[in-house]
Amino acid sequence: MGRTTPEDEAFKQRVAEEFKRARDRASAKRFSVEQFAQTLGVTRAALHKYLSQKSIPSLRVLQRARQYWGVRLTYGELGDRYVKPKKDPRQMEFQFSAEDVSKEQIEIKKFSPKGTNAIELLVKIHFSKTA
């Protein structure tokens, strides 16, 4: 096990405080500890390590804590840039009005589970047809 710095210990303390507040918010919404840990993508044991300042969560866990529970923590020199979405360079973004698309123009190509909390939906929109 590596050495921890005073900065590491201070960060562990901030994580514990923020995660305890988030757990309290989850509890108020009737989430069990297991359900709360599941939203973070961790086990109950891992959550206990964060709350007892024994471990530092991964960037993925911090990102999920922000997404689901509003936990705002900076991560060293990254600050809060670790939560910015990454764009896939193979994808292109374009804008159009949903009013310009009719039901007949939409074709669902693929609908499948992705992990425990997500699905993948591939939709084809035929713009050559008129709405």
pTM value is: 0.58
CATH class of residue range 6-83:
mainly alpha
Q: What is the pLDDT of residue 106?
A: 84
- Which of these, 18, 72, 16, 23, lies nearest to 49 by C-alpha position? 16
What is the residue extent of each domain of the chain? 6-83
The three-class DSSP label of residue 37 is helix
Asked if residues 120 and 112 have their Cβ atoms less than 8 Å apart, the reply is: yes
- Which residues, 6 or more positions from 72, have their beta carbon under 8 angstroms from its beta carbon? 18, 66, 80
Give yes or no for residue 93 having a pLDDT over 60: yes
Query: What are the φ/ψ torsions at residue 124 (nearest 5 degrees)?
Result: -110, 130
Strand partners, 110: 122
pLDDT (average), residues 100-121 = 81
Q: What is the pLDDT of residue 114?
A: 79
pLDDT tens for 1-13 read 567 788 888 889 9
Give yes or no for residue 95 having a pLDDT over 80: no
pLDDT tens for 11-41 read 899 999 999 999 999 999 999 999 999 999 9
Q: What is the pLDDT of residue 26?
A: 94
Compute CA distances 90 → 19, 110, 121, whole Å: 36, 18, 17
Tell me what the pLDDT averaged over the chain comes to. Answer: 82
